[in-house]
Amino acid sequence: MVLDCKAFYDAMNGAGFDFYAGVPDSLLKDFCAYVTDHTPAERNVITANEGSAVGLAAGYYLATGRPGVVYLQNSGLGNTVNPLTSLADQACYGIPMLLIIGWRGEPGKKDEPQHVKMGSISREVLDAIGVEWAELPQEPEAALAAVQAAKERLAARPAPFAFLVRAGTFDKYKLQNKLTSPYAMSREDAIGLLLQHLPKNAKIVATTGMPSRELYEHREIRGERHDTDFLTVGSMGHSSQIALGIALQQKDKQVFCLDGDGAVLMHMGGLASIGTSGCTQYKHICLNNGAHDSVGGQPTVAFDVDLAKVASACGYPAVFTVTTPEEIAETFPRFLAANGPAFLEVRVKVGHRDNLGRPKMAPAELKVAFMAALAES
Give pLDDT, residue 351. Answer: 81
What are the residue ranges spanned by the domains of the chain? 5-165, 187-375
Give pLDDT, residue 377. Answer: 58
Is residue 171 pLDDT above 70, yes or no? yes
In angstroms, the CA 275 to CA 100 distance is: 36
- Mean pLDDT confidence for 255-269: 96
Give pLDDT, residue 376. Answer: 86
Task: Provide the 3-class DSSP secondary structure of residue 212.
Answer: helix
- Mean pLDDT confidence for 72-77: 96
Q: Which of 1, 8, 7 is nearest to 69 (CA)?
A: 8
Task: Provide the 3-class DSSP secondary structure of residue 312.
Answer: helix
Give pLDDT, residue 244. Answer: 98
pLDDT exceeding 70 applies to what percent of the chain?
99
Reported for 323-327, long-range contacts at CB under 8 A and 24+ positions apart, including other chains, are 323/183, 323/185, 323/347, 324/184, 324/185, 325/185, 325/189, 325/193
What class is the 5-165 domain?
A: alpha beta
Residue 202 CB: number of other CB atoms within 10 A?
17
Give pLDDT, residue 352. Answer: 81
Q: Mean pLDDT over all residues of the chain? A: 94
Is 5-165's fold the same as 187-375's?
Answer: yes
The CATH number given to 187-375 is 3.40.50.970
Reported for 322-331, long-range contacts at CB under 8 A and 24+ positions apart, including other chains, are 322/346, 322/347, 323/183, 323/185, 323/347, 324/184, 324/185, 325/185, 325/189, 325/193, 328/190, 328/193, 328/194, 328/197, 329/193, 329/197
Total length of the chain: 377
| Per-residue pLDDT reduced to its tens digit, 181-213 | 789 999 999 999 999 999 988 999 999 989 999
Is residue 273 pLDDT above 70, yes or no? yes
CB 353 within 8 A of CB 215: no
Q: Return phi, psi of residue 259, to 5°.
A: -110, 170
Give pLDDT, residue 314. Answer: 98
- Mean pLDDT confidence for 122-146: 97
Give pLDDT, residue 361. Answer: 86
Instruction: State the pTM of this model.
Output: 0.93
Is residue 296 pLDDT above 80, yes or no? no
